[in-house]
Amino acid sequence: MRFALMTHDKRGALQLRLDTRAAHLDYVAQTGVVEMAGPFLEDGQMCGSLIILDVPDLTAAQHWAANDPYMLAGLFETVTLLEWKKVIG
C-alpha cells in the first residue's frame, strides 16, 4: 500500500531541518520504503515534505513517520498521512 506523508515545518525551523537532514536521509535509505520524496518550498526555502511510502498498512506508515528524525526533532507544525493511489507515473 502507498501512503502520502505531507508535512509543514514550524515557522523559523529551517536551521533545525538543515541540522537534521543527514539523519533523515540516512533513515530514508536504511528503511527502504520511500518510493519518492522531496521538500515543499516557500520562497525557495525548504518548508515541509512530501514522502510517498510503500508499506504493508497504515500502522507501518504511522511507525515510519513517528520514527523519522525530522519528527523526533520536533520539526513539523502539521502532519497528514493518507492512503494514496498511484495513477500516473
Domain boundaries, the chain: 2-83
Across 24-32, average pLDDT: 98
Say if CB 27 and CB 68 are below 8 A apart. Answer: yes
Q: What is the pLDDT of residue 84?
A: 98
- pLDDT, one tens digit per residue, over 34-64 is 999 999 999 999 999 999 999 999 999 999 9
Position 89 confidence tier, pLDDT thresholds 50, 70, 90: confident
In this structure, whether the domain defined by 2-83 belongs to CATH 3.30.70.1060 is answered with: yes
Using a 10 angstrom Cβ sphere, with 0-12 exposed, 13-18 middle and 19 or more buried, the burial of residue 60 is middle
